[in-house]
Amino acid sequence: MFLLVLFGSGMFVFGCMMVAKPDAFAKGITEFSNKPWFHLFEIVSRLTLGVLLLLFAEQTSYPLVVQTIGGVLCVVGLFLIVIGSERHRKFASLTAKIGRYFRPIGIVAQLCGLGLVYLGFN
């Protein structure tokens, strides 16, 4: 499924950025969270991807895994609506403060991204 390959590739690339330059990645989060369209983009992107994964899960080799990922994305999108823009920005600012600890998180993102690419090709 093309969507899984694309999502997994993006996750892998972000993981590489976290591993290579964790402080720059943290700074990027802060800058992105200050954009006026940040909150809306985060909601729309998660809900869109989540719904698409739910709709096309049955066409994959592992529909339960894809449904779970899609469901989690939808729940997170709805949660972002509930908490509102200001709390979302505060959370992003707090997340950015972990700095160098993005490196191990990046390794996990790389592994998960590769796993999604694998699922997309099976």
pLDDT, tens only, 46-55:
999 999 999 9
User: Other C-beta atoms within 10 Å of 5: how many?
Assistant: 15
pLDDT tier, 1 (very low <50, low <70, confident <90, very high otherwise): confident
Which phi and psi angles does 117 have, rounded to 5°? -60, -45
Identify the helix (H) or strand (E) that includes residue 25: helix 22-33
pLDDT value for 110:
97
Please state, in angstroms and as integers, the Cα–Cα distance from residue 20 to each residue in 47, 51, 107, following that order: 29, 32, 10
3-state class (DSSP) for residue 37: coil
pLDDT tier, 100 (very low <50, low <70, confident <90, very high otherwise): confident
Q: Can you give the pTM of this predicted structure?
A: 0.87
